[in-house]
Amino acid sequence: MDRITIIGTGLIGSSIGLALKRLRLKDTEIVGVDLERSVSNKAKKIGAIDKIEKNLINAVADASIVFISTPVMSVKDIMEIIGPRLNQGALVTDTGSTKREVMNWAKEFITPYADFIGGHPMAGKESSGPEEADADIFYNKPYCLVPDGKASTSNVEILVNLITAIGANPYFIDESEHDSFVAAVSHVPFVLSAALVSCVARSPQWDDISRLASSGFRDVSRLASGDPTMHRDICITNRDYIGYWMDQLIAELLLLKNTMMDKDASDDLTDLFADALLNRDSWLNGSASPSGRSDYKRPNVPSLAGIMFGEKMVEKVFGSENNKDNNQTRQ
């Protein structure tokens, strides 16, 4: 009997379990292990896993596929424990929200006889725990994949097929671009959400203000209800790109503030809001494109050629100026 092991049976781990169980995989046992026994008990109760293991080493014994679905900073210790004990040919993946550190840990700790493929489903909720798990949470959502370069074609195909079968859309991406892009559309939003809540909650009038807070505040502050440990780990492992996009956001807020304070700039203020409206609508319609702002600075991530061949090789073959031009065309 094949074994799929899920390490971490919270929201995402249990959702993966539910989605896999719905596939009715033949002769396959889904094993769950969690630091908190009450969490794995709940995962088993809702039918996300077939069996609970208390021990990490026992959990991965004979496993052909291992999902690591824990907060990012826990992944290193888990890899260090299970890495040397994985079966030959085993497929190991994670669901962490940052990828550069995770890929480095995999290179250090995962046995060369197993394959690691970084993963990140772009799905979730502000609430956590197996009681919030949902087999449909991945439906039509991007699922980022970052193979480590030595992963076998067969294991890549297995993971792609599984991800497709649970309704998600596989999306191959370099770890640096992943961390930069996700910082912009996932990490900074929850930082902004938390900052907004903290800002108004520190007001001496918060008790009265809160009585007026309605759907707008609820929508913008939703992500502040997320798991603090998960958010902390994301910030620690992606502080440079999050910091970059926070700087961009601060600049945008200052532009809005300065325009708003200028009594003669009402038309400019309208244009800024109209620009945001059009950009959001184009994103919702699947036709997002750069707004053409001349002051935008692209974060320093590898070019596509650099991802495929390495930046130094690109410089040797094409020259540094060509590589520079290649980056500029992607702004």
Domains of the chain with CATH codes = 2-173 (3.40.50.720), 178-284 (1.10.3660.10)
Residue-level pLDDT at 149? 83
**Residue with the two structure tokens 């094409």:** 318
10-residue block means of pLDDT along the chain (331 residues)?
A: 96 97 95 95 97 95 96 96 96 97 96 96 89 96 92 96 97 96 97 97 97 96 92 96 97 96 94 95 89 50 42 40 43 40
Q: Which has the closest alpha carbon to 1: 65, 55, 86?
A: 65
Residue-level pLDDT at 26? 93
Q: Which has the closest alpha carbon to 305: 325, 279, 282?
A: 325
Could you tell me the two tokens for 252?
């945008």
- HEC profile of the chain: CEEEEEECCCHHHHHHHHHHHHCCCCCEEEEEECCCHHHHHHHHHCCCCCEECCCHHHHHCCCCEEEECCCHHHHHHHHHHHHHHCCCCCEEEECCCCCHHHHHHHHHHCCCCCEEEEEEECCCCCCCCHHHCCCCCCCCCEEEEEECCCCCHHHHHHHHHHHHHCCCEEEECCHHHHHHHHHHHHHHHHHHHHHHHHHHHCCCCHHHHHCCCCHHHHHHHHHHHCCHHHHHHHHHHCHHHHHHHHHHHHHHHHHHHHHHHCCCCHHHHHHHHHHHHHHHHHHHCCCCCCCCCCCCCCCCCCCHHHHHHCHHHHHHHHCHHHHHHHHHCCC
Decide: 187 and 234 in contact? Cβ < 8 Å: yes
Model confidence, pTM: 0.83
